[in-house]
Amino acid sequence: MSSRRLPALLALLWLLPVAAHAGELARSTMAVPLAPAGSPHLTLPMPATLDPDEEVWVAYRMIAISANPDPTGDIVVSGSFDGAKTPLGEMTVVFTPSRMQKTASAGTIAERLEAAYGKRTDAELVSALGQGLFDAYVALNRKSGAILQGAVLKTLPAPGAERPPLLVTVERDSDLHPAGLEVIVGQGDLPADVRSSVDPRPGFRIGRMLLLGLAIAIVVGMWMKLRSD
C-alpha cells in the first residue's frame, strides 16, 4: 500500500464505529463537523439489543482547537432519539474551556498534512477547514493556541419499541472549534473508558481520543474536500 494513502485509511478506520463493549450499544465519530469539509449532523442507528423500555446514556467526547491560548467561548451540541420527547437539559450539551482539559501544541499538524497531500495553499486550507479552524491550525503550528478535550454524559428517556436512531447535531461554536466529536450510546454500566473520561476530577484522560486524533480529524476533513474537487 502506498504510504501516501495510509493517513486517509487510518482516518476512515477512526470514523467507523468500534465493536461494542459491555454496556455499550453504538459508537461513532464526527470529524471537523463545522468545517465546510465536514458535516454537523450524525444519525446513529440503534441495534436490536437496545432495551426499548430502559433509559439510555450518551457520552459525548469532544476534542477542540482554538487560536486563542486561553479561549472563552463554547461548543453547543444537541442529541435526542428521532421523534422522542426529551428534556432540554438532557438534549443540550455544552462544552466550555473551564470544564475541558487544555494541552499545548507540538507544532506538527502541518507536517502531517504535507506528508499526506503535499503542501497546500492557505486558500485551499481555508476552503476545507473554514476560517476559524484554519486560524486555530495556524496558531497550533506556531505552538500557540490551545487543544482542549472534554466529555459530557447525558441520560435520555427510553426510546420506545421502534428503537429510533439517535440524532446528533453540532449547533454552533465560538472561540474554540470542534475537530472531532465521539458519541457513545449504551445502557446499564458504563464501560471503563467512558467512565474514566467523564470523571469530574481534574486531569482526567479521554482514553481512545488521543491527541493523534486531532491530526487525523483534520486529515479527514482535507481528504473529503480534496476527493470532492
What pLDDT band is residue 225 in, cutting at 50, 70 and 90? low
Query: What average pLDDT score do residues 150-157 get?
Result: 94
Determine the angle formed by the axes of helices 6-15 and 109-117, rounding to 10 degrees.
110
9-25: buried (b, 16+ CB within 10 Å) or exposed (e) per residue?
Answer: ebbeebeebeebbebbb
Q: Return the pLDDT at 90.
A: 94
215 sits in which H/E element: helix 212-228
Residue 73 lies inside a defined structural domain of this protein: yes
Q: Which of 65, 18, 30, 34 is nearest to 220 (CA)?
A: 30
Residue 39 lies inside a defined structural domain of this protein: yes
Query: What average pLDDT score do residues 152-170 get?
Result: 96
Grid-cell match 481512545, residue found: 208
Q: Return the pLDDT at 13.
A: 39
Q: What is the pLDDT of residues 107-140, one digit of tens each?
A: 667 776 676 666 778 887 888 788 998 899 889 8
pTM given for the model: 0.80
Q: Is the pLDDT of residue 73 over 60?
A: yes
Query: What average pLDDT score do residues 91-96 get?
Result: 96
Q: What is the pLDDT of residues 192-219, one digit of tens each?
A: 878 777 765 444 444 444 444 555 555 5
Q: Return the pLDDT at 197.
A: 73
Our count of domains for the chain comes to: 1
Q: What is the pLDDT of residues 181-199, one digit of tens each?
A: 999 999 998 888 787 777 6
Mean of pLDDT over the chain: 79
Residue 38 lies inside a defined structural domain of this protein: yes
Residue 203 lies inside a defined structural domain of this protein: yes
Which residues constitute the domain of residue 187?
Answer: 6-228
Collapsed DSSP state (helix, strand, coil) of residue 225? helix
Q: Return the pLDDT at 180.
A: 86
End-to-end CA distance of the chain: 23
Residue 1 lies inside a defined structural domain of this protein: no
Q: Is the pLDDT of residue 22 over 60?
A: no
For residue 75, the one-letter residue type is I
Residue 32 lies inside a defined structural domain of this protein: yes
C-alpha cell of residue 65 = 482547537
Q: Which of 184, 105, 92 is nearest to 143 (CA)?
A: 105
